[in-house]
Copies of this chain bind each other. A is one copy, B any other.
Amino acid sequence: MSPQERYGTQFGPDITFLGVPRCTWSDPSTYADADVVIMGAPFDGGTSHRPGTRFGPQYIRQTDYLPHDGSRPSLALRVDGLRDDLTVYDAGDVQMYSGDAERSVRDLQEAVYTVTANNAIPLILGGDHTIAWPDAAGVAQHLGQGRVSMIHFDAHADTGNIEFGSLIGHGQPMRRLIESGALRGDRFLQIGLRGYWPGPETLDWMAGQGMRSYEMTEIVARGLEECLTEAFSIATDDCDGVFLSVDIDVCDPGHAPGTGTPEPGGLTARQLLDSVRRIAYELPLVGIDVVEVSPPYDHADITSALANRVVLEALSGIARRRNGTPWDPRRPLLDR
């Protein structure tokens, strides 16, 4: 593969995530020192209902009232996960043509693989959840089939087989990942499922794969913290790294209205941010995606702002994990 020109962003002005420096994914020399490389995947051709996630990358990158100066010192963790304590680049978007899911998925996997192979953590901004297939498969392509576990926040299992006559879509990526051998079903941890999909047949398939899916009634009955701790121990058992996939619809529609298939009864924004922080701080993340933010259905940008913070909590957690100092959430802010 020869280096290409940087593509930039597919929609709107050519911006980067809160102003971090640019790089070109196909030219590793442009991010040789990177800890994390952010990429946009503005694809919404795979959604089964409300589209709009093609504008997810733009809005996740830009929705913040603070100066877009490439720096974000975390109050909670007392690190700057965007500049001082982590090296982060934004490679722009991988061109997605929503009318051609197959090509889009193929091109994205190549980009994710390239970044991983060059020792950076890929952080992909969706787009609909279709992209989780190339995202996690691209990471596994380098780290080894079955060597990466998955922590998957979502209202939906995304383990459908065929939808609208296609194997590719936002309801099926997890099935494709397991069926292809990229990820092991018994290292697949799902948090926040609820509602009325999928049906028994698919649930049986999931059980057969050894998946561990935490439906919301279990989470409420046992407590989110306990469920997470249990999930963490599975995720780190005989795997070399963890991929974190955050579908913003894991949150209640009151906290995240701007999404395609909102399912009432989800996590609060606070719960999601606290969970992502724990994961990034406690687990060896090797890839991340944040998906299903649909700005046309948002109000006052609250969903985009939440997704922006999910990214920052993940980066801050990674940074704090790397600097090696212990962290206690009970300590007063001004003592941390």
Interface residue ranges, A against B (CB under 8 Å): 10-16, 19, 44-52, 54-55, 61-62, 65-66, 68, 71-76, 78, 95, 97-104, 130, 164-166, 168-169, 193-197, 199-200, 203, 206-207, 211-218, 220-222, 252-258, 260-266, 268-270, 273-274, 277, 296-302, 305-306, 309, 312, 329-335
Q: A76-B194, A98-B98, A297-B296 are in contact. Are A329 and B169 (CB under 8 A)?
A: no
Residues in B whose Cβ lies below 8 Å from that of A97: 164-166, 169
Complex-state Cα separation, A51 to B127, whole angstroms: 13
A151 → chain B closest CB, angstroms = 16
Q: In the complex where A213-B332, A217-B329 touch, is A13 in contact with B62 (Cβ < 8 A)?
A: yes
Q: Once the chains bind, are B222 and A260 in contact (CB under 8 Å)?
A: no
- Can you add 9 more A-B contacts, CB < 8 Å, to A14-B19, A265-B270? A51-B296, A74-B196, A97-B164, A193-B333, A203-B333, A215-B333, A217-B329, A254-B256, A257-B302
When distances are taken between beta carbons in the complex, the residues of chain B under 8 Å from A206 are 334
A308 to B: closest C-beta gap in Å: 8
Contact A99 B166 (CB under 8 A): yes
**Which residues of B sit under 8 angstroms from A54, Cβ to Cβ?**
51
Q: Which of A44, A50, A166, A212 has the most CB of B within 10 A?
A: A50
Q: How far is the CA of A16 from the CA of B14 in the complex (A)?
A: 9
Which residues from chain B contact A257 at a C-beta distance below 8 Å? Answer: 299-300, 302
Interface CB pairs A-B, < 8 A, 14:
A13-B15, A13-B19, A13-B62, A45-B98, A65-B260, A73-B199, A76-B194, A97-B165, A100-B102, A215-B332, A220-B270, A221-B330, A257-B300, A264-B273
Closest residue of chain B to A254 (Cβ to Cβ) is B255
Complex Cα distance, B328 from A215, in Å, reads: 12
Contact across chains for B11 and A49 when beta carbons are under 8 A apart: yes
- Would you call A12 and B254 a contact (CB within 8 A)? no
A313 to chain B, nearest CB (A): 9
Looking at the assembled complex, report how far the CB atom of A202 sits from the nearest CB atom of chain B, in whole angstroms: 10
Closest residue on chain B to residue A333 by CB atoms: B215
